[in-house]
Amino acid sequence: MAADHYEVLGVEREASPDEIKKAYRRLARELHPDVNPSPEAAERFKLVTHAYDVLSDPKQREQYDLGPQAGPFGGGQGFGGFEDIFSTFFGGGGGSRGPKSRRERGQDALLRVEIDLADVIFGAHRDLDVDTAVLCDRCQGSCCEPGTHPVTCDICNGTGSIQRSVRSLLGNVMTSSPCGTCRGYGTIIATPCVTCQGQGRVRARKSIPVDIPAGVDTGLRLQLPGHGEAGPAGGANGDLYLEIKVKHDDVFSRDGDDLLATLEVSMADAILGTTTEFAGLDGQVDVDVHAGTQSAEIITVKNRGITHLRGNGRGDLRIGIQVVTPTKLGRGERELIERFAQQYKGDKPRLSQFQQGLFAKIRDRFLNL
């Protein structure tokens, strides 16, 4: 049972505010840890300080004197709200819910992560440094200094609420409001943890290992359950959400699960055909350019695109051909071209039948570039 505040301070229940203050000062000088370092004095000093906090506040002293079951109009409050009246008549009133818990679920957190386009093909591993709320190592979420515990609030006797009988249009009804001393928790942290200041958690930087799956795209959010902020008083952790952003690549672009690239081919190689290779995002790519290749033709390399996010397999690598026409020719080069032109009697440029497929290839080639 909680000690009586008046007995703790050694004053009568009718003591004036000045008498209460004088009693507290006398006891504080006697019991303060700087003067009396004994454990017994430290415990008494906490009780004396808490008693003075309650009795020096007129509102809290009035509530303490009235006790958890105040009489009609005790505490000087007005009419209860409709919610109180309804809860009384329909089975929920009178503080039946009990004190609220200090433990709450921690907040969710959002972190944006940039990855390279190459990481999208097979996935990637990252160790992310996150500034977040973590469980206090000193009190392990209890909010109290080690070796101490929360004490029952002597204003509401641990119920977390103060009940009053008030007069309303429907007669006298019982209303319930959160206790102002313990804020509805039913207990008081008399000796808060010095590390977390009674919160049960502290801010810290921690590393979180993350496996980013293959096939992700910009804007996709990954959920990591339990990696968000730690909850107050040892409450469960929230979740961490990772929002993906894929960095721009100067050579390759993406169309769904396909990769797009442009291959510049000299006029001679386009005419005669050639075999070439270049570095892809996942290794060397061999390409056969057939003789007579035209600009905007598409060469497809199967299964060299992005790994499907859901399901097996990969997309394709689509390579758009761009035949490069030289703009500056030396005298010897120009003579060779002229001799070729004389031997090759091709048709003069003219309009031909509209080819929808040609524009479709050009569209596909430059899509998302």
Annotated binding site: 136, 139, 153, 156, 179, 182, 193, 196
Q: Could you tell me which residues come within 8 angstroms of residue 226 by beta carbon, excluding any fewer than 6 positions away?
A: 236, 237, 239
DSSP for 119-138, written as a single string? HHHH-EEEEEEEEEEEE-TT
* Known binding-site residue numbers for Zn(2+): 136, 139, 153, 156, 179, 182, 193, 196
Q: How close are the terminal C-alpha atoms of the chain, in Å? A: 76
Residue 53: phi and psi, rounded to 5, are: -60, -40
- List Cα–Cα distances, 203 to 103, 131, 242, 363, in angstroms: 17, 7, 20, 52
Burial-class residue 154 by CB neighbours within 10 Å (0-12, 13-18, 19+): buried
Say if residues 262 and 250 touch (Cβ distance below 8 Å). no
The continuous run of DSSP H or E covering 202 comes out as strand 201-212
Edge-to-edge strand order for the sheet containing 221-224? 109-115, 240-246, 221-224
- C-alpha 28/C-alpha 45 separation (Å) is 7
Report the number of secondary-structure helices (H) and strands (E) in the chain. 9, 16
Give the helix/strand (H/E) hosting 284: strand 283-289
Closest among 121, 110, 363 to 246, alpha carbons compared: 121
Residue 108 tokens, joined: 């969710």
Q: CA geometry: angle at 292 spanning 291 and 295, to 5°? A: 120
Main-chain phi, psi angles of 331, to 5 degrees: -60, -45
Phi and psi angles of residue 296, each rounded to the nearest 5 degrees, phi first: 80, 0
